[in-house]
Structure 1
Amino acid sequence: MENIDATPNFDLDLTKPEPVPQQGVDRATELMNTGRLFRYGETVPGELSDASLLEQRFADLLGRKFAVGVNSCGAALFLALKSSGVRAGDKVLVNGYTLAPVPGAIDHAGALPVIVEVNDNCTIDVADLKHKALASGARTLLLSHMRGHISDMDEVVRICADLGIALIEDCAHTLGASWDGKPTGTFGKAACFSLQTFKHINSGEGGIIVTDDEDLAARAILYSGSYMLYTQHGARPPESVFENLRGNIPNYSLRMTALAAALALPQLDLLPERAERMNASYQCLAGLLGAIEGVQLIERALKEQFIGSSLQFRLPGLRGEQIAEFVAICHEHGLGLKWFGQPRMEGFTSRPSQWEYVADSADLPRTEALLSTLCDVRIPPAMNEHYCHQAAEVISHALQIIAP
Structure 2
Amino acid sequence: MNDLDTFSLLLTEEGRTLLASLRDYDPSQELAVATRLRRDHDAGLVSAALGQARLRQRAVAKFGAADAHRMFFTPNGVEQSTRTSVATHRAQAFASHGVRSVADLCCGIGGDALALARAGISVLAVDRDPLTAAVARANAEALGLADLIEVRCADVTDVDTSGYDAVFVDPARRGGRGRIFDPEAYSPPLSWATSAALAAPFAALKIAPGIPHEAIPPQAEAEWISDGGDVKEAVLWFGTGVTPGAFRATVLPAGAALWAPAPLEAPPVGPVGRYLYEPDGAVIRAHLVAEIVSRCGGRLIDETIAYVTSDAPYVSPYTSAYEITDQLPFNMKKLKALLRERGVGVLTVKKRGSAVEPEEVRRKVKPSGPNAATVFLTRVSGAPTMLIGNPVARPTPPLP
TM-score by length of 2: 0.28
Higher-Rg structure is 2
Higher-helix-fraction structure: 1
Pick 1 or 2: higher relative contact order, CA cutoff 8 A, min separation 6. Answer: 1
TM-score, normalised via structure 1 length? 0.28
**Which structure has the highest strand share of the two?**
2
